[in-house]
Structure 1
Amino acid sequence: MVSWNKILGVASVAAATALLGMVAFDVPYFKSVYFLRIDLGNGTASTAAVNQTNAFVDLGALGFCTDLKDGRGLQCSPAKIGYNLSEAGQFINGTLPPALSASVNAVASTLTKVLVLHIVAFGISLVSFAFALLAFFGAPIADCCSSCFCGFAGSAAFAVFIFDIAFFELIKKRVQEEGNSGAAIMGNALYLTLIAWLLLFITPILFLIGRCCGCCIPSGHSDHEKRHKNNY
């Protein structure tokens, strides 16, 4: 019979891996998931995409998407490691908006290379999920390996979450330095990364509790049955 801790553990790792996968392959792939939105309006920011009326640029791990509200809809850059916001010029007729100035680009082009760590965290979590599945089906060594890789994936997720906060604050500061030219809005990818970290943090504890409970289950009942059979 499969123990409850293994069921919860596999479900927790699966959910965390799915969330990290969505974050690692957000815009330009999952267009509704992004790390940071640069609102190109005059300092007016909207946190709800449904109500977004200003032109904006969404930054992801492998690229960006922009909607200039010029009738052409959402347009996205090719996916690659490290990108420059000046590439948005191919979607703009004329000069870049002040919020995409050279100072903002200088910071963004450097920091976007580090966003590839989200793919690393996703890869580690994927390995952890594979071991969790093996442990679920009874492979003895996989239980320990799953806990170890959960710890690695959780540490990686926490590290990239801290970087995401720093990434957001630096871009926000540079955009604000450009005056009344736009605003930086925190994206939902940060919250998804935080939830994934919490799930990966909880999973090893579930496995540990399950092992401890399994070791502490009294064997008196089974010994009584053996003695009863021996009498016959």
Structure 2
Amino acid sequence: MVSWTKILGLASVAGATALLGMVAFNVPYFKSVYFLRIDLVNGTASTAAANQSTPFVDLGTLGFCTNLQDGRGLQCSSSHVGYNLSEISTFINGTLPPALTANVNAVASTLTKVLVLHLVAFGIALLSFAFAFIGFLGAPLADCFSSCFCGFAGSAALVVFIFDIAFFEIIKHRVQETANSGAAVMGNALYLTLFAWLLLFITPLLFLLGRCFGCCIPSGSDHERKGRY
């Protein structure tokens, strides 16, 4: 009979892996998940009416998506490590909006290279899930490997979460320094990374509880032997 701690442990690491996967492949893939949104108010790209929403650009791990409110809808860059926000010039006619000046681009092109660490955290979590699934099927040694990889993935998730906060604050500061620019808004990818770290922190504890209770609870054969005497 499978213990409830193994079931919860497998569900926990599966949830964390799914969250890290969404963050690792957010915009331009999962377009509703992003690290940071820059509102391009006062930008030359917008030809929208006053009652329409503000043009924006969303930053992700491997690229960005932008909606300039010019009738063409959401447009996304190609996927690659270390993208540059000046690539948005391919979607507009004219100069870049003030929020995407060289001052912002110089920082963003460097920081976006470090976002690849989200792929590393996702890969480690995926290994942890694989071992957790094997352990769920009955291989006891796999639980130990899963707990170890959970620890590694949790540490990686915590590191990238701290970097995400720094990434947001630096870009926000650079955008605010630019005159007549927009505003930087924190994206939902940061919260997903935090939730994933919490799940990876809990999972090894669940596996440990399962091993402890498994050792302390006597088996059915032990009850039968005691009943004979």
TM-score computed with the length of structure 1 as normaliser:
0.92
Q: Which residue of 2 aligns with 1:200?
A: 200
TM superposition shift of 1:224: 4.9
- Where structure 2 has 5 or more consecutive residues not aligned to the other structure, the ranges are 44-50
The change in CA–CA distance for 1:141 and 1:93 in structure 2 (over 3 A counts) is same
Separation of aligned partners in 2, 1:149 and 1:169: 30
Separation of aligned partners in 1, 2:226 and 2:92: 84
Equivalent positions of 1:80-91 (< 5 A) are 80-91=80-91
**Are the equivalent residues in 1 in contact too, given 2:157–2:194 (CA < 8 A)?**
yes
**Are the equivalent residues in 1 in contact too, given 2:42–2:98 (CA < 8 A)?**
no
* Cα deviations by residue, 1:94-123 (Å, 9 ceiling, x for unpaired): 000110000100000000000000000000
Q: CA RMSD in A?
A: 1.7
The reply on whether 1:101 has 2:66 as its aligned counterpart is: no
**Are the equivalent residues in 1 in contact too, given 2:98–2:180 (CA < 8 A)?**
no
Superposed structure 1 runs of 4+ greater than 3 Å apart = 221-224
TM superposition shift of 1:4: 0.4
Letter in 2 for 1:53: S
- Where structure 1 has 5 or more consecutive residues not aligned to the other structure, the ranges are 44-50
Letter in 1 for 2:119: I
TM superposition shift of 1:124: 0.3
Q: Which residue of 2 aligns with 1:183?
A: 183
Q: Which residue of 2 aligns with 1:47?
A: none
Q: Percent identity?
A: 79
> SS state of the match for residue 185, structure 2?
strand
Separation of aligned partners in 2, 1:224 and 1:125: 40
The change in CA–CA distance for 1:183 and 1:227 in structure 2 (over 3 A counts) is closer
Equivalent positions of 1:1-232 (< 5 A) are 1-42=1-42, 53-218=53-218, 222-226=221-225
TM superposition shift of 1:214: 1.5
Separation of aligned partners in 2, 1:228 and 1:40: 77
Separation of aligned partners in 2, 1:12 and 1:225: 35
> SS state of the match for residue 58, structure 2?
strand
Which segment is superposed worse, 206-215 or 127-136?
206-215
* Cα deviations by residue, 1:54-113 (Å, 9 ceiling, x for unpaired): 000000000000000000000000000110000000111100011000010000000000
